[in-house]
């Protein structure tokens, strides 16, 4: 992989992990904004805590070289839920934030997708390994 792609991927991995890690405070401290969001979705407090755990796992996976790709893929799934929540019951703007939470979710989604594509050879190998596991399980 060319150095610029590796450097860009590493920078995006750090960005994604930092976003997830900073949200943990809000989720685990029951910050009023976080409680409002998950109450609006009808899954407070269990949903808030579960999402916090998933985001913590995602941040750790994306920072570890051997698990960065599964971490990026998990991130796409986790952040898709946030984006769908914003496009649905939450709305783009939450508690007069001018859409900043939605924008951050979109940026994390794009960054996670970019990591998968910047590391396309690793992605192909991962798909082959997973396919082999499923084939042997039959």
Distances (CA, A) of 13 to 28, 63, 115, 131, 134: 23, 6, 7, 25, 28
Higher pLDDT, 134 or 61: 61
Which pLDDT score is estimated for 126?
83
Q: How crowded is the C-beta side of 135, counted as CA atoms within 13 Å? A: 6
Which pLDDT score is estimated for 37?
97
Say what percent of the chain tops pLDDT 90.
83
Give domain limits for the chain.
3-137
User: Is residue 10's pLDDT more than 80?
Assistant: yes
Convert the pLDDT of each residue in 53-75 to its tens digit. Answer: 999 999 999 999 999 999 999 99
The encoded tokens of residue 134 equal 């499923």
User: Is residue 1's pLDDT more than 80?
Assistant: no
Average pLDDT over residues 98-115: 97
Q: Decide: 110 and 52 in contact? Cβ < 8 Å.
A: no
- 67's CB contacts (< 8 A; 6+ apart) are 60, 61
Average pLDDT over residues 38-63: 98
Q: Round to whole Å and give the CA distance between 78 and 27.
A: 14
């Amino acid at each position: 992989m060319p150095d610029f792609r590796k450097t860009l991927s590493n920078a995006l991995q750090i960005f994604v992990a930092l976003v997830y890690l900073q949200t943990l405070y809000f989720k685990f401290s029951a910050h009023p904004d976080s409680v409002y969001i998950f109450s609006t979705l009808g899954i407070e407090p269990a949903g808030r805590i579960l999402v916090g755990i998933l985001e913590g796992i995602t941040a750790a996976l994306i920072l570890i070289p051997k698990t960065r790709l599964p971490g990026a893929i998990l991130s796409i799934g986790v952040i898709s839920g946030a984006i769908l929540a914003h496009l649905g019951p939450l709305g783009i703007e939450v508690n007069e934030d001018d859409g900043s939470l939605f924008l951050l979710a979109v940026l994390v989604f794009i960054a996670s997708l970019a990591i998968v594509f910047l590391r396309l050879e690793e992605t192909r190998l991962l798909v082959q390994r997973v396919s082999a596991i499923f084939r042997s399980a039959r």
